[in-house]
Amino acid sequence: MLTIDASVHMNALDPGEEGSAESQAFLDQVFGRPWPVFSPTLLLVELAGTAARALDDDARGLAVAQAVHGLPGQVWVPLDEPLAEEAGQVAARFRLRDSDAVYAAVARRNGAILVTRDRQQLERLQGTQPVLSPAEARDWLLARGRARAAE
């Protein structure tokens, strides 16, 4: 089970950005087969806004969010009051930015690995919950696939 931060999706969209190939390869691997991905509904808002700003095109920003919304295996987690409280606790304890704490709380609540390119999440959450970069997560998925094939 995974939770994938918006930073991974946006990084995969920009081939000129460092780590883009790793992010794209990881996303291709995840969404190429049935795999539960727990995503806060906040992801759709973040992707629409960030993509629209990056592309300077509101229609393309919305299209990015809609494309991610339709990916197989997505389990959408609404930001309700209990999740907001949990995210607030995570934000305060680990000194994370607002949306970063929401992704961490969603992953924590669902027993999922948080996959992110955000350095603060990677550093501050290490040892408290599973958190990996896209390259690390891709290697982890490949190792799991090899282990299952060997069974």
- pLDDT tens digits for 129-151? 999 999 999 998 888 776 666 66
pTM for the whole structure: 0.93
pLDDT in the model for residue 31? 87
3-state SS, residue 111? coil
Going by DSSP bridges, is the β-strand pair 2-4/113-115 parallel, antiparallel, or unpaired? parallel
For residue 33, what pLDDT is reported? 77
**Taking the chain (151 residues) in consecutive chunks of 10 residues, what is each chunk's mean pLDDT?**
96 93 93 87 96 94 95 94 97 96 98 96 95 94 73 64
From 69, 72, 66, 59, select the one nearest 31 (Cα to Cα).
72
pLDDT value of position 141 = 87
Give the bridge partners for 2, in sequence order: 37, 113
Q: Which CATH superfamily is domain 2-43+74-145 in?
A: 5'-nuclease (3.40.50.1010)
